[in-house]
Amino acid sequence: MKNSIAIAGGIIGSFLIAGTSLADGGFSAHVSQCVEKFANPAMGASVMLECTAAEGKLADCKVVENSVPGKGFDKAAMCVATFLPMGSKTGTVRVPVKFQPAA
């Protein structure tokens, strides 16, 4: 069974994921770091990941869709996925990640 979990990622946005905040600067800061490391923050993109959810985390992610191939957003989405809390979700999940261009 596949579940969809909508995750919006971006440079400027603020994020609430199941009421969880990350003590190391927050989810928004982590998204910014991932984009700056792998892609161009001035661009936007949408990436769909398919991952296995277990023990509150995502594992074995693969990119199934990428709106701008070859621009690094696939790697940025994989980076973001390492910090997404999944709560009690288990099994295969599809995770859409949307990157908004920096203003």
Q: How far is residue 98's CA from residue 48's CA, in Å, rounded to a whole number?
A: 9
pLDDT tens per residue across span 44-95 = 999 999 999 999 999 999 999 999 999 999 999 999 999 998 889 899 999 9
pTM: 0.75
Q: How far is residue 96's CA from residue 49's CA, in Å, rounded to a whole number?
A: 6
pLDDT for 81: 95
Complete domains list, the chain, with CATH: 3-100 (3.30.2420)
Strand partners, 99: 9, 45
